[in-house]
Chains A and B, each alone.
Chain A
Amino acid sequence: NAGVTQTPKFRILKIGQSMTLQCTQDMNHNYMYWYRQDPGMGLKLIYYSVGAGITDKGEVPNGYNVSRSTTEDFPLRLELAAPSQTSVYFCASGPRGTGELFFGEGSRLTVL
């Protein structure tokens, strides 16, 4: 059982480049989330989805986009990367109504 899988694990981008962080879960969870974690800080919510075709902004959505075309996949798109987007990005999923949350291992992004 793979759980929540994130790719890539590490990436270095130049300012202005774009990229997509991939997230896939095999637990048939309705809810999926993208968080970012900066050093010494807690996690901040970027976007979330309560089901295929539905997405909502979190606390820090600027500079990011998401889509949810299937239950399994929830990619996070960074357009015009900026140094402020240097962070560790975590994808998580959970079943409806339980509050449970399962996290991926994270994707470490550096923008230079």
Chain B
Amino acid sequence: KQEVTQIPAALSVPEGENLVLNCSFTDSAIYNLQWFRQDPGKGLTSLLLIQSSQREQTSGRLNASLDKSSGRSTLYIAASQPGDSATYLCAVEGNTPLVFGKGTRLSVIA
């Protein structure tokens, strides 16, 4: 059974700092991995989707990497802003639909 773990569970950083969120998964037989953002009381918004054949994806200040063989992914946020404050969830799709981690709650302090 696929299990997804995200570390840390919560993170508080000053504005402008670069930061890394971590995601690990137990079964490396995946089709893709996604990072989502969730604002309080809202639905999920997909940030980056990495197919299993890819090593990374970039969108603006966000960069996600995937090391399928070791079962790890990182989300790098450059020059963090207060507007980045949200919960970030990692999810993997394999032989079953998306399995989610519990998320990392990020607070960026102005």
Q: Which A residues are within 8 Å of any B CB, using their own CB? A: 4, 31, 33, 35, 40-45, 48, 58, 90, 92, 98-106
Contacts and interface: CB of A to CB of B under 8 A. Distances in A.
Contacts of B101: 42
B102 A41 contact: yes
A42 B45 contact: no
Contact of A99 (B45, B49, B89, B102): B49
A106 B43 contact: yes
| Chain B interface main SS type | strand
B97 A99 contact: no
Given A4-B43, A103-B44, 20 more contacts: A31-B97, A33-B98, A35-B100, A42-B89, A42-B100, A43-B91, A44-B100, A45-B96, A45-B98, A45-B99, A58-B97, A92-B44, A98-B49, A99-B34, A99-B93, A100-B46, A101-B44, A101-B98, A102-B46, A105-B42
B32 interface: yes
Interface residues of B, number: 23
Interface of B: 4, 31-32, 34, 41-46, 49, 51, 89, 91, 93, 96-103
29 contacts: A33-B98, A41-B102, A42-B4, A42-B89, A42-B100, A42-B101, A42-B102, A43-B44, A43-B91, A43-B100, A44-B100, A45-B96, A90-B43, A92-B44, A98-B49, A99-B32, A99-B34, A99-B49, A99-B51, A99-B93, A100-B46, A101-B46, A101-B98, A103-B43, A103-B44, A104-B43, A105-B42, A105-B43, A106-B42
Contact of B44 (A40, A41, A90, A99): A90
Contacts of A92: 44
